[in-house]
């Protein structure tokens, strides 16, 4: 009984301390940053030049802040078009959320892409799997390699590592298992 009461009391005290700490030490997040992060792909591929989608959202929100000096860092219009997997549609969405007008004529309209191995060219040298940051490439030495589509973020790191040009980037194939209803167009 003493052990049960002690643990219950300890749990209650720690719970109260955590609750108070949560209120006192709470870090206020930027609502715009959260809104931008929600529309970014979330694959953290790093093609934008940032460590991931959260870092990209922070950079865009910071650049959009009225206190940010526009002459420093990357211009907001460039940041809005920084996500290759999101393409033109995402750039338009981001610009709409920020209330700015951006020339999107030079932004590719293609969607996310993943790496595919051309089996007839693969010699099984394993160079690609060593540079893949998500371990998306499977294969043993001197065996044909393959890419796990669920794990590939489209970072393109592997493409240049292949001596036989067996790795190519292709739009994510739509299959019965992966089809989702397209999002409605923004008004």
Which pair of tokens denotes residue 160? 């240049």
Tell whether residue 154 is a contact of ligand SF4 (CB under 6 A): yes
User: Does residue 75 interact with ligand SF4 by CB under 6 A?
Assistant: no
- According to the binding rule CB under 6 A, does residue 132 interact with ligand SF4? yes
Q: Does 157 bind ligand SF4 (CB under 6 A)?
A: yes
Q: Phi and psi at residue 83, in whole multiples of 5°?
A: -100, 100
Q: Which of 99, 152, 159, 84 minimizes the C-alpha distance to 127?
A: 159
DSSP 160: G
134 forms part of the interface with ligand SF4 (CB under 6 A): yes
Is 29 or 143 the residue whose CB approaches ligand SF4 more closely? 143
3-state secondary structure 34-83: HHHHHHCCCCCCCCCCCCCHHHHHHHHHHHHCCCCCCCCCCCHHHHHCCC
Identify which of residues 21 and 118 has a Cβ nearer to ligand SF4 in the complex: 118
**Total of chain residues touching ligand SF4, rule CB under 6 A:** 30
80 CB-contact burial (10 Å; exposed 0-12 / middle 13-18 / buried 19+): buried
**Nearest distance from residue 175's CB to ligand SF4, in Å?**
18
DSSP assigned state of 143? S
Single residue of 124, 160, 174, 178 touching ligand SF4 by CB under 6 A: 124
Q: Among residues 77 and 116, whose Cβ is nearest to ligand SF4?
A: 116
Quick one: CA dihedral 26, 62, 105, 47, positive or negative? Answer: negative
Residue 39 found at the interface with ligand SF4 (CB under 6 A)? no
Under the binding rule (CB under 6 A), the answer on residue 136 touching ligand SF4 is yes
Residue with Cβ nearer ligand SF4 (81 or 84):
84
Could you list the residues that contact ligand SF4 (CB under 6 A)? 114-115, 117, 122-128, 131-132, 134, 136-137, 139, 145, 147, 152-158, 161-162, 164, 166-167
């Amino acid at each position: 009984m003493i052990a049960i009461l002690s643990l219950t009391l300890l749990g209650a005290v720690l719970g109260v301390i955590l609750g108070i700490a949560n209120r006192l030490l709470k870090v206020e997040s930027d609502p715009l940053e959260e809104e931008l992060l929600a529309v970014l792909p979330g694959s953290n591929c790093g093609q934008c030049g940032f460590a991931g989608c959260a870092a990209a959202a922070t950079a865009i929100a910071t650049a959009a802040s009225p206190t940010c000096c526009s002459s420093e860092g990357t211009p907001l219009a460039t940041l809005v078009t920084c996500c290759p997997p999101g393409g033109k549609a995402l750039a338009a969405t981001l610009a709409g959320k920020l209330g700015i007008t951006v020339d999107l004529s030079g932004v590719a309209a293609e969607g996310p892409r993943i790496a595919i191995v051309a089996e007839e060219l693969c010699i099984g040298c394993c160079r690609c799997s060593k540079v893949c940051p998500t371990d998306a490439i499977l294969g043993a030495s001197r065996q044909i390699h393959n890419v796990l589509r669920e794990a590939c973020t489209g970072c393109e790191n592997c493409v240049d590592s292949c001596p036989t040009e067996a790795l190519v980037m292709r739009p994510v194939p739509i299959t019965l298992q992966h089809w989702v209803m397209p999002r409605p167009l923004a008004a």
